[in-house]
Amino acid sequence: MYQCEHGGVVRLKLAVDPDLGPLAAELSSLARGAGLDAVGITGAEPFGSTRRHLEQRKAAGLHGGMHFTYGDPARSTDPDRALPGARALVVGARSYRRAAPAPPRGNGVYGQVARYSWSDHYGPLRDGLGVVARHLEANGWQARVLVDDNAMVDREAAHRAGLGWYGKNTALLLPGKGSWFVLGSVVTDAPLPPTTASAAGGCGSCARCLPACPTGALVEPGVLDARRCLAWLLQAPGTFPIDLRPALGGRIYGCDDCQEVCPPNRTEDRRHPPPPAGDEDEPWVELVRLLERTDAELLAHLGRWYIPRRQPRYLRRNALVALGNVGDGGDGRVVRALVDGLAAGDPLLRAHAVWAAARLGRGDLVAGLAASETDPEVRTELAAAGLTG
């Protein structure tokens, strides 16, 4: 490389790749020192088979309208699209394994949050990979951090880097550690040598995750129908499917059922009990309080979550369904939340409040709405609940 007249660093193409083994070792050490639990390096060749799987499942409708890596499979499976001239991926995993506490005692009805969203686990992962990227740049190479980004299928990058294998629940499992990890990559034009160790392991004959899925979304080993996946439906725009609402229970964001029954995760818990939830973790959210908050308060409090179009109405939609499943129709605060939902200016909220009220045996609260409602979606809910007559 040489210094150009404007002060920038230009790296010349070399006929023979330099020996970057020492740099690769430095990067792995830096990543672990920055809080990552596993690190691997792989080449930046396109993920051909992954692209085909995405395209086939999208054509079959299994993506359920999910954009993310399904939006442009050609892009999300080609590291060169993220960084022209890409030669390698430095892939990192960071654990979010925590002990699941019981719901808080006392007054209130609580909605459940999946572990990966108890707090911001992607931030520390991004910071750790940022240390790697800056070290690459300091050595004259280009680097780009990709964390929870639709430009990269992070599980395939981690699989290729030898971090783990695909479980039958579609999660990536790290040998001896399980699946409670967030994943991310640094794309670089440095021709780093790949990690030589491969991820030994596999699910074998075990298929406990398939029947554990509360909606049967795991239609076959390694194949997820997002149209039935509660974790996706809680993030999807529009109406929550009425036939799947009872299975939602008290969940308001994410679902951990297929991971909780997974033997590698359970074995790791026995060997090394998970740390308790920290002060910053929020595994439960009080539902009535959520419904009472303003849009600005909801975004400030839960803005780290994926919220369709950044519209808090979807957080309220989820809370109303959960309230219908785990609330008490005789509780004054619950009743007030239902009445407020039935009077909301947003028909999406009125529709889900109708379902929740009927579910809790409070069809009496809906009588006035049944006589005056004109929105077709709300009227559909009223008819389904038998409250139009």
pLDDT at 162: 95
245: pLDDT strictly greater than 70: yes
For residue 27, pLDDT over 70 is answered with yes
| pLDDT band (50, 70, 90) for residue 8 | very low
Element (H, E) at 91: strand 88-95
The answer to whether residue 376 scores a pLDDT higher than 90 is yes
- Biggest alpha carbon distance in the chain? 81
Please provide the average confidence, as pLDDT, over all residues in the chain: 93
- Asked if the model's pLDDT at residue 5 lies above 60, the reply is no
Check residue 183 and give its pLDDT. Answer: 98
CA 290 to chain centre: 21
Q: Please say if the pLDDT value at position 3 is more than 50.
A: no
Span 102-117, pLDDT tens digits: 999 888 999 999 999 9
Average the pLDDT over 358-364 and give the result: 96
User: 110-113 and 251-253 as β-strands: parallel, antiparallel, unpaired?
Assistant: parallel
Q: pLDDT per residue over 173-231, tens digit each? A: 999 999 999 999 999 999 999 997 666 678 999 999 999 999 999 999 999 999 999 99
Catalytic residue among 80, 120, 127, 148: 148
Among the ranges given (99-108, 212-221, 246-255, 264-273), the one the predictor scored with the smallest mean pLDDT: 99-108
- pLDDT tens for 132-161 read 999 999 999 999 999 999 999 999 999 999
- Closest CA relative to residue 301, chosen from 319, 279, 282: 282
283 exposed, middle or buried (CB, 10 Å; 0-12, 13-18, 19+)? buried
Instruction: State the Cα–Cα distance between residues 54 and 211, nearest whole angstrom.
Output: 24
* Helix or strand holding residue 41 (H, E): strand 38-43
- Give the end-to-end CA distance of the chain in Å, rounded to a whole number: 79
Q: Which two tokens stand for residue 330?
A: 């005789």
Residue 224 to residues 17, 142, 210, Cα–Cα distance (Å): 41, 36, 10
Burial 103-135 (b: 16+ CB within 10 A, else e): eeeeebbbbbbbbbbbbebbebbbebbbbbbeb
What domains appear along the chain, each with residue ranges and CATH number? 14-100+119-188 (3.40.109), 209-384 (no CATH)
Query: 279 catalytic, yes or no?
Result: no
Q: What is the pTM of this model?
A: 0.91
Place of tokens 């439960």: 284
Tens of pLDDT, residue by residue over 274-291, are: 999 999 999 999 999 999
With beta carbons less than 8 A apart as the criterion, state whether 141 and 186 touch: no
SS3 sequence of 30-59: HHHHCCCCEEEEEECCCCHHHHHHHHHHHH
Residue 368 pLDDT level (bands cut at 50, 70, 90): confident
